Amino acid sequence: MKVDSSFLRLFRQSRYARDTEAEKGQPRQNRRELFAVAAVAFVAKYNERFARNFLLRVAGVPEIDLDHEFIWEPQKAFCADLLITDCNSGNQYVVEFKVGAPLMGKQRSGGAAFDNKGGYGRAIKTQFPNTRVYTALAQQRDFDDSIKDGLERRARTWKELIPANEKEGQLLEDLLDSLGEFGISVLRLRKIKNMKNANYATITVNIHDLLRSILAEFREVPLDVDSNEAYNLVGMNLAPRAKQHSDLRKWLGHNWTDIGWIGYLLSKANRKAELSVWLYFEARHAQQREASIQVLKRKLRGKTVKPSGANDLIVSEAADRVANEKEWFTETLEFVLKNSVATLSRTKKR
């Protein structure tokens, strides 16, 4: 019998996976990053080999110092997802964790924002003046390594957590499996050999063309392929043109580039596919989101309408119930876009 990874179970049962008062308004992606930091620090405490590899390959600790004692402090400050302090020398090392979201300008070395007010470079120099290395740990290397003002700036990928020519061990294997389920591709695919996806290329092209044709009135965006602890996802963001869906934007409470998402969800729990349309609400517009949910539930019979996290609304239906996917996406998206805002006037009348 296959059992979910223990770290993944802990995440699902922890406050990081729930919309508690402390986490309301915080993107779920950020909460996965918080948990990833804590999990990495935990494994480092009980797996000396992993700790040494992380210190050397990720944090940038010189090999000559690896026998020193180190203090690992998760979430030490907004600019330090993980602060590592060398007890012998006093030198410090900061690691920024990125599970899925890209680095922001203030986190990316090489840009002016990093060393300006509000940037991580300036904050690190102010709060942790003994820091020798800043490392951004992400799915891709977003900037070149450099040294400026005595601070070494490094970009590393999650591949560095995979031991070279060594057995992972049960604890490390569980960590890497769980982080892979968070959507870190290199960790999720590290055990797969002889992968052959050529026969599915046509399906991917068809999905792209289908969604692109449905979103012809929106700005063109790339196909979004992602993964989190619950789903594998293939779809496209809803990116309106300037002044398009202005009433809906007001109802959602923001002027973000994307107002939602459309595409396919593949459940990791039961491997069943769903068709879905999402709307992104600003966290302070929880009342508007709930009003939209109630209206859509009454009007969209046979479909599931539910909140997700602190910000999202999802309309979905099992793929095996849908005879014509193009028709489903077209009609559902049109209905959601036209009827969600209507709840505003209806709510006021009550």
pLDDT at site 4: 53
- pTM for this entry: 0.69
Same domain, 114 and 20: yes
Assess if residue 57 is contained within a domain.
Answer: yes
The domain boundary, picked from 161, 188, 215, lies at 188
Give per-residue pLDDT as tens, 260-311: 999 999 988 888 999 999 999 998 999 999 999 999 999 998 899 999 877 8
Where does the pLDDT of residue 14 fall: very low under 50, low under 70, confident under 90, or very high at 90 and above?
low
Distance of alpha carbon 84 from alpha carbon 240, whole angstroms = 43
Assess if residue 25 is contained within a domain.
Answer: yes
Assess if residue 1 is contained within a domain.
Answer: no
Partnered with residue 137 across adjacent β-strands are: 97, 156
Assess if residue 55 is contained within a domain.
Answer: yes
Distance of alpha carbon 138 from alpha carbon 99, whole angstroms = 6
Number of independent structural domains in the chain: 2
User: How many helices (H) and strands (E) are present in the chain, helices listed first?
Assistant: 12, 12
Assess if residue 131 is contained within a domain.
Answer: yes
Q: Which tokens is 267 given?
A: 């459940």
Burial code (b: 16+ CB inside 10 Å, e: under 16) for 5-20 equals bebbebbeeeebbebe
pLDDT at site 268: 83
Give per-residue pLDDT as tens, 40-76: 999 999 999 999 999 999 999 999 999 999 999 999 9
Give per-residue pLDDT as tens, 79-118: 999 999 999 999 999 999 998 778 899 999 988 899 999 9
pLDDT at site 242: 86
CA atoms within 13 A of residue 306's CA, in its CB half-sphere: 8
| Single-letter amino acid code for the residue at 101 | A
The domain boundary, picked from 188, 212, 233, lies at 188
Same domain, 343 and 205: yes
Same domain, 46 and 101: yes
The domain boundary, picked from 188, 215, 240, lies at 188
Domain limits for position 138: 6-188
Give per-residue pLDDT as tens, 303-345: 999 998 778 999 999 999 999 999 999 999 999 999 998 654 4
Same domain, 24 and 163: yes
Same domain, 17 and 132: yes
